[in-house]
A and B are shown apart, each in its own frame.
Chain A
Amino acid sequence: MTEGFGPKIVGEIAGIYISETVVVTWIIMAVFTILAIAVTRNFDKIPTGVQNVVEMLVDAMNKFTAQTMGEDKKGFAPYMGTLFLFLLVANLIGLLGLRPPTADVNTTFALSVLTFVMTIGFGIKSKGIVKYIKSFFEPLPFLVPLNILGELANPISLSFRLFGNIVGGVIIMSLVYGGLATLSGALGLESIPIFQAVIPVALHAYFDVFAGILQSFIFVMLSMVFISGAMD
């Protein structure tokens, strides 16, 4: 606890440190992959049981993408859907006692850099390089520095918004758990920290569930807006 709230280093491969964040991400990836294969393997033309839920999920993602980005950019649905599912599970995994991967600035920045690269890439692809560069000179040419700065601020604000929310929750929750353990200790119950039982539920509901779902949604929504904004 005294060492700080950064992610633990759990291993080292060829001199590269593997952090807790990466391991939890791999766990999430493995679960996603297994579920996706297991669920879609027995897909039938007439949906039953789990298939209905999966179809609803995919359909919701497709519709949400089409609605936010426009019908012509429906192709982004798989990326945005993946992003949303990953962020949702990553934010909520704190409930299982694991460290959320999104409580690491490397994760959130990696994702926002992907959004940033896509913004530029699809902007140029859609408008053409000349028109894309020209768009920085609008509405007035002397606003170029501001436009560039605004463009660069997007990924930074995007990543730190998510990171801050989640890491804040992690820090507060660990402080609360520590405090409750100390409180239990004061009553002579060091081995059975009884106060940790019910009291953190409301805090979990806010920091993990509410903030987690909201921030996932905001991240995906903003990514969609940035990319489709650059393309139109």
Chain B
Amino acid sequence: MFGLVEFNSTFIFQIVNALVIFLVLRHFLFKPVTEMMEKRTKSIEDSFKEAELKTKKSEELKAEYEAKLNEIKEEKNKMIEDATRRAQNRSDEIIAAAQEEADRLAEKARAEIEREKQKMMNELKGEISQLAIGAAEKIIEKDIDENTHKQLIDNFIDKAGETQWQN
């Protein structure tokens, strides 16, 4: 038995023992456990950061899409407006063309009528002059040179009867 307070070989043993158990526990307990906890902390932090990043990104994307959507809406409105305006223009054009065509036709009809009237009048004049010559022949009993006098009478009728016939 050793004495109660006696320094002996146990001292050396205990120093070695303390160092050994320190190295063993550091290697098998403290290091792995601390590393594990730090890794976990880091992974939790990372996942939080990632989530934050993703939220931010999604918000950015949302804003972008909304802007795009607005752009599209604007463009659509513009297109509709454009189309409406074009259609309006086209319809105006068509109406104008139709109007013009109608005017032209009316004009043409009027001219035709005018021409027809002129023609009829000329014919009438011819007949009248014939009648007049016939009547005059009978009255003066004298053969008038038809061709010479027809010209004369026509001229007369033209001057005298134009306005009257017109009315």
Contacts and interface: CB of A to CB of B under 8 A. Distances in A.
A33 B26 CA distance: 10
A82 B4 contact: no
A7 B1 contact: yes
Contact of A29 (B17, B26, B33): B17
A19 interface: yes
Contacts of A61: 30
Contacts of B40: 45
A47 to B, nearest CB: 8
B130 to A, nearest CB: 131
Interface stretch (A98-106, A129-137, A193-201, A224-232): A98-106
A19 B10 contact: yes
Given A29-B21, A54-B29, A78-B26, A113 B15 contact: yes
Nearest to A5: B4
B31 interface: yes
**Which size bracket describes the interface of B in this complex?**
35 or more
A25 interface: yes
B28 interface: yes
Contacts of B24: 29, 32-33, 36
Contacts of B32: 40, 43
Given A25-B14, A45-B36, A6 B2 contact: yes
A22 B14 CA distance: 7
Interface in A134-187: 163, 167
B13 interface: yes
B90 to A, nearest CB: 72
Interface in B42-61: 43
B18 A86 contact: yes
B5 interface: yes
A21 B14 contact: yes
A8 B1 contact: yes
Contacts of B39: 45
Interface in A57-101: 58-59, 61-62, 77-79, 81-83, 85-86, 101
A22 B36 contact: no
A99 to B, nearest CB: 11
A45 B26 contact: no
B156 interface: no
A111 interface: yes
Given A81-B29, A106-B7, A106-B10, 16 more contacts: A6-B1, A8-B1, A17-B8, A22-B10, A22-B17, A32-B25, A40-B28, A43-B36, A45-B40, A58-B33, A61-B30, A85-B25, A101-B14, A106-B13, A110-B14, A114-B18
13 contacts: A16-B9, A29-B21, A33-B21, A40-B32, A43-B33, A45-B39, A45-B43, A58-B29, A58-B37, A77-B34, A78-B30, A104-B10, A110-B17
Interface of A: 3-9, 16-19, 21-22, 25-26, 28-29, 32-33, 36-37, 39-40, 43, 45, 54-55, 58-59, 61-62, 77-79, 81-83, 85-86, 101, 104-107, 109-111, 113-114, 163, 167
